[in-house]
Amino acid sequence: MNLYDQQLAELIKNALAEDIGDGDHSTLSSIPRAAKGKAVLKIKEQGILAGISVAEKIFRSMQPDSSFQAYKADGQTMEYGETAFEVEANVHTILQCERLVLNCMQRMSGIASLTRTYVDKLKDYPCKLLDTRKTTPNFRLLEKEAVRIGGGVNHRFGLFDMIMLKDNHIDYCGGIEKAIEKAYEYVQTIKPGLQIEVETRSLEDVKKVLAIGKINRIMLDNFSPELLREAIGIIQGQYETEASGGIDLTNIEAYAATGVDFISCGAVIHQARSLDLSLKALPNNP
């Protein structure tokens, strides 16, 4: 089992425990434990589908011998009235997993759909769309997976997998030069191989970073497209470049046209709207 599957299994376990508590009393009081059933996921809104593989894992985490038939795949366009999957399992399994499946898939599909809208804006440019750490606590795993499904690229997952020297690090440290030197020494002595990205807030900052070096990527934060183009001209491909701050669907193409390598946008997650999906029971044959 890889790290993603391990983290997903833990997420599912905790989410089911949160929802079920000491028992699903609605189901326990009305449905025999041995009852079997089928249900289908009905699509009620157009968009990009995400979370099919997660739904299958949710059902099988509770009942490994559940039968799960997917009719659509993650990343496909979905239309109103389509069926995404059919599940056959104990009725208790279906009812106890229903809300978690819908919560995950509705949220993920909303993020994947918004991400695809942003990515489509970049189709004529070489730059890539990145997500950020502006995520829901304990749900980052699936929010970032939804970005990937929508065609975006996952940035660092957390504080542990990359050094990013942002404005507060720089100000607390006493300047951009000191921050870079300390981070570089840390990588060399404690965490070899860890990449370093540094945030710049002006052309003066960019020039300071170029004079020091010892980093992997320069973030250009809250630059206008015109200033960004100037900064990229100064950097001349020596380091990867990332534009961030104030970028949305109305101006993302102007930023992409500057030649920047990456555009990071927290909005693809925190401004995404959950899409409408419904899990419906199939009546038993008489």
Tell me the catalytic residues: 99, 134, 166, 199, 221
- DSSP collapsed to 3 states, the chain: CCHHHHHHHHHHHHHHHHHHCCCCHHHHHHCCCCCEEEEEEEECCCEECCCHHHHHHHHHHHCCCCEEEECCCCCCEECCCCEEEEEEEEHHHHHHHHHHHHHHHHHHHHHHHHHHHHHHHCCCCCCEEECCCCCCCCCHHHHHHHHHHCCCECCCCCCCCCEEECHHHHHHHCCHHHHHHHHHHHHHHCCCCCCEEEEECCHHHHHHHHHHCCCCEEEEECCCHHHHHHHHHHHCCCCEEEEECCCCCCCHHHHHCCCCCEEECCHHHHCCCCCCEEEEEECCCC
Q: For residue 169, is it left (φ>0), alpha (ψ between -120 and 50) or beta?
A: alpha
CB atoms inside a 10 Å sphere around CB 33: 9
